[in-house]
Amino acid sequence: MSISTSILEELLQSLPHLRPQLYFKSSLTALSHAMEDQVLAVGEQPLVIASFQRERFYRQEAHRYLRISELTSQVYVLAAPETSFMNGSDHYETIAFEPGDQLSQEWHLVVLGKQYATCLICRERLKTAKETESEPMGMDQTRRFEGIWTFDRQVSCRAAELLLDRILLYRPDLADKIEQAKAEFLTTIPSQKQEIDPDPFAQRLVTHLQAGQYKLLKAYRSIAAKERKERLVNSITAAIRRSLNPEEIFKVAVQELGQAMQVCRCILYRCKATDSSTTITYESRKSSAIASLQGQSWSLQNNPLFQSVVQSQEPIAISNTDTEKRFDLTALKGVIEQGQIRSWLMVPVVYQGRLLGMVELHHCQATAHPWSDDEIGMVDAIATQLGVAVIQAEAYANLEDLNQQLEALERTRSNLIAITGHELRTPLSTIQVCLESLASEPDMSPELRQVMLSTALADAERMRTLIRDFLTLSRLESGRVEWHVEPLSLDECVELALSSLQARRSDTPLPQVTSQVSLDLPLVEADGEWLVEVLSRLLDNACKFTEPQGRVTIDANLTNLNSSRMMEVTIADTGRGIEPNRLETVFDRFYQEEGALRRTTGGTGLGLAICRQIVVGLGGQIWAESDGRDRGSQFHFTLPIARSSSDTVGVAPRLPSRISDDTPYNGRAPLKSKK
Ligand code: ADP
């Protein structure tokens, strides 16, 4: 038996004045419950027919129908069976209609009492493609029905009749009972209209409306919270992504996160899972009244929270460090006291399972702060973004590094071409000519022989110097030099450079060289070997380009460069000077005023290029000044001042303590400790 007629359609056909309306599922639920409550409240013995689309919808209501069936024997419940619903006559009549029956698309409830009659006859309206697209999938509340809901007795009777006839098709065994129902409820019109109490119906309806409103409110709240979270994550992410510098990324992240989460303190540190300790590098505080932890060194090895985060790669939230039970915080007592940490949130910055750092939020007030899932989720989302940003920044830095290495390689290559192209060719030709002459002319006078030999030896030495300087510059340019930076006394380094100069130039008259470097100056932060190398080269040049009657002076003063305090060292001479348009060019590789072939002073033309590489590598700058030809030159360079030494003027100077092959400047006296 397959029945394809719709009860609603039949009703509309027989009562054409009816105009169906649209109802949301939630409205139908509210109306049905209100109608059922009215049956229970009025207490008479009405005819009740309820048709559910599915057995499972009926199951939620079964208990109510049991209660209704205690009032009246004329209760019929129809449903499309799914598991156990079947035809039966237990407490009330159950009618299992076929799933193909139009009833499975419909929702009916008819109540025919003596005092009142009401019915709800509706059919589900399937959604259009557009509606399905615009409404979230699976949202039951958005299902729509069209049909009639009324207190009109005539309509209710007709609906009851249609439904009873349908029931009869499935349950012919109920013919007598149905006949009796028809006779009792469909034919007798109440003689006089009696007042019924509308309260239970209205109450129920209002309760439903209220419940619906609460649900809406909850949904709004959760959407608003989600939106707030998304906006925050986006704004922090945008701030983070603006930079490719991990330092800047972390700085921005602690600031923004601390502010957005309104915590007392937000800290961030880089760490690996295997690290035994870390330094708190980045911090933001709500106010200066909150103790700062920045710069502190924390043990990670003995930190049970850190170890647990490393294991689980999940955040840890502690709302009250005083009453914490899951973790033994004994080892963290000092940290907790110092940072006055009451509530603690620890979120790892992880990328593809690799721990990159840790974000921590602290509340320091007396009352504990229970961390909400939303808060934890938000910090976690930002930590994820941080992980990505850091990896991107690192990748970029690697790329830049690679780029720099390539550039350095390219410079080395062009240096090599230049050096072999003409710098080496000249001395090599001279050596060859001298040696050939010596070999082919056995009768050569001993004096001439000596000249030939000395010339060949001098040019061989020149070649050696050239290759050594070339290799030094290449190493500096390719960044392969390891700097051993330490606080140093500038005066000591100048002395070492001076004695090295005298050892090298003992056979030539030198101009008068004086050091005016004050002993009271603070220590500088530099690598002693390389600093002496720069001083030696600049002093060498000054002596080389100044007549023996001239003067060379070394001076040093404190200066402010780009808002940081630096030491400025000046080596001035009264020698031949430099043309204004050459002041920058002199630092180019192989630059020599006389040109390579007319060299009178020796030298390789690489000295100032080496000096610039060293000074820049130590964090300073170097430049030349001169009033022009024959008006002397001044070479200036800056160095950072040792951090601790700005307060320790006059402290016994420390000497470079290491001698290595890194600084192979020719003829330089080895550095000796004066201690
Ligand atoms: P070099 O081995 O030729 O001295 P440098 O790189 O040290 O190579 O110097 C490059 C050139 O800069 C020198 O050849 C010279 O022309 C010029 N120069 C360097 N120092 C001085 C100075 N103190 N006075 C005048 N000219 C200088």
Residue 381, token pair as written in the block? 């989302």
Give the per-residue pLDDT at 133.
64
Residue nearest to atom 8 of ligand 1 (CA): 605
- Distance of alpha carbon 498 from alpha carbon 236, whole angstroms: 56
With respect to residue 160, please indicate whether it lies within any of the assigned structural domains: yes
Residue 546 CB–ligand 1 contact under 6 Å: no
Average pLDDT (206-235) is 82
| 537 CA: nearest ligand 1 atom | 7
Question: Based on the domain organization, do 13 and 158 belong to the same domain?
Answer: yes
197-227: string of b/e by CB count within 10 Å (b at 16+)? eeebbeebbeebeeebeeeeeeeeeeeeeee
| 575 CA: nearest ligand 1 atom | 24
Looking at the chain, the whole-number percentage of residues with pLDDT higher than 70 is: 89
**CATH number (domain holding residue 266):** 3.30.450.40
Q: Which domain holds residue 174?
A: 7-197
Question: Based on the domain organization, do 135 and 264 belong to the same domain?
Answer: no
Question: Based on the domain organization, do 623 and 510 belong to the same domain?
Answer: yes
Residue nearest to atom 23 of ligand 1 (CA): 542
Give the per-residue pLDDT at 135.
56
- Distance of alpha carbon 344 from alpha carbon 319, whole angstroms: 6
Ligand 1: residue of 423, 545, 587 to mutate (most ligand atoms within 8 A of CB) is 545
With respect to residue 422, please indicate whether it lies within any of the assigned structural domains: no
| 632 CA: nearest ligand 1 atom | 24
Among 393, 415, 445, identify where a domain stops: 393
* 139 pLDDT more than 70: no
Strand partners, 96: 79
Among 361, 376, 393, identify where a domain stops: 393
Residue 540 CB–ligand 1 contact under 6 Å: no
Residue 538 CB–ligand 1 contact under 6 Å: no
Residue 536 CB–ligand 1 contact under 6 Å: no
Task: Give 185-207 pLDDT, tens digit per residue.
Answer: 998 666 555 566 777 787 778 78
With 0-12 / 13-18 / 19 or more C-beta atoms within 10 angstroms meaning exposed / middle / buried, residue 316 is: buried
| 608 CA: nearest ligand 1 atom | 6
With respect to residue 131, please indicate whether it lies within any of the assigned structural domains: yes
Which residue reads 């690679």 in tokens? 402
**Residue of 135 and 278 predicted with greater confidence:** 278
| 601 CA: nearest ligand 1 atom | 3
Residue 184 CB–ligand 1 contact under 6 Å: no
Q: What are the C-alpha distances in Å from 566 to residues 526, 534, 587, 601?
A: 12, 17, 22, 33
655 C-alpha to center of ligand 1: Å? 28
Question: Based on the domain organization, do 566 and 488 belong to the same domain?
Answer: yes
Give the per-residue pLDDT at 394.
83
Average pLDDT (127-141) is 61
Residue nearest to atom 13 of ligand 1 (CA): 592
Q: What are the C-alpha distances in Å from 384 to residues 247, 311, 351?
A: 17, 17, 7
With respect to residue 332, please indicate whether it lies within any of the assigned structural domains: yes
State the DSSP H helix or E strand holding residue 235, giving kind and residue range, or none if neither.
helix 199-241
With respect to residue 444, please indicate whether it lies within any of the assigned structural domains: no
- Distance of alpha carbon 386 from alpha carbon 247, whole angstroms: 12
CA angle 78, 81, 84 (to 5 degrees): 110
CA angle 47, 52, 56 (to 5 degrees): 130
Task: Give 313-362 pLDDT, tens digit per residue.
Answer: 999 999 999 999 999 999 999 999 999 999 999 999 999 899 999 999 99
Strand partners, 323: none
671 C-alpha to center of ligand 1: Å? 25
- Distance of alpha carbon 606 from alpha carbon 416, whole angstroms: 13
Residue nearest to atom 19 of ligand 1 (CA): 541
Of 221, 208, 214, 223, nearest in space to 23 by CA: 208
601 C-alpha to center of ligand 1: Å? 9
pTM comes to: 0.46
- Distance of alpha carbon 570 from alpha carbon 518, whole angstroms: 13
Task: Give 583-603 pLDDT, tens digit per residue.
Answer: 999 998 877 765 544 445 567
- Given pLDDT bands bounded at 50, 70 and 90, which one contains residue 666? very low
Question: Based on the domain organization, do 492 and 594 belong to the same domain?
Answer: yes
Question: Based on the domain organization, do 255 and 328 belong to the same domain?
Answer: yes
Question: Based on the domain organization, do 550 and 617 belong to the same domain?
Answer: yes
Residue 534 CB–ligand 1 contact under 6 Å: no
- Distance of alpha carbon 621 from alpha carbon 546, whole angstroms: 24
Residue 511 CB–ligand 1 contact under 6 Å: no
Looking at the chain, the whole-number percentage of residues with pLDDT higher than 90 is: 54
Among 344, 374, 393, identify where a domain stops: 393
**Is-contact 308 332, C-beta < 8 A?**
no
**Is-contact 674 655, C-beta < 8 A?**
yes
For 84, the 3-state DSSP assignment is coil
With respect to residue 406, please indicate whether it lies within any of the assigned structural domains: no
**Is-contact 645 486, C-beta < 8 A?**
no
Which residue reads 């290495």 in tokens? 405
Give the per-residue pLDDT at 484.
94
| 594 CA: nearest ligand 1 atom | 16
Residue nearest to atom 25 of ligand 1 (CA): 577
Residue 290, token pair as written in the block? 């909150």
With respect to residue 562, please indicate whether it lies within any of the assigned structural domains: yes
- Distance of alpha carbon 623 from alpha carbon 53, whole angstroms: 90
Residue 166, token pair as written in the block? 């349908």
Question: Based on the domain organization, do 157 and 259 belong to the same domain?
Answer: no
Give the per-residue pLDDT at 171.
96
Of 4, 13, 102, 126, nearest in space to 51 by CA: 102
Question: Based on the domain organization, do 188 and 292 belong to the same domain?
Answer: no
Residue 119 CB–ligand 1 contact under 6 Å: no
Q: What are the C-alpha distances in Å from 661 to residues 148, 471, 665?
A: 100, 12, 9
Domain count, the chain: 3
**Residue of 667 and 405 predicted with greater confidence:** 405
Residue 339 CB–ligand 1 contact under 6 Å: no
Residue 480, token pair as written in the block? 């392969």
**Residue of 427 and 190 predicted with greater confidence:** 427
Question: Based on the domain organization, do 254 and 189 belong to the same domain?
Answer: no
Backbone φ and ψ for 76, nearest 5 degrees, come out as -125, 125
Residue 106 CB–ligand 1 contact under 6 Å: no
Question: Based on the domain organization, do 501 and 610 belong to the same domain?
Answer: yes
Question: Based on the domain organization, do 159 and 95 belong to the same domain?
Answer: yes
- Distance of alpha carbon 353 from alpha carbon 358, whole angstroms: 14
- Distance of alpha carbon 7 from alpha carbon 20, whole angstroms: 13
With respect to residue 73, please indicate whether it lies within any of the assigned structural domains: yes
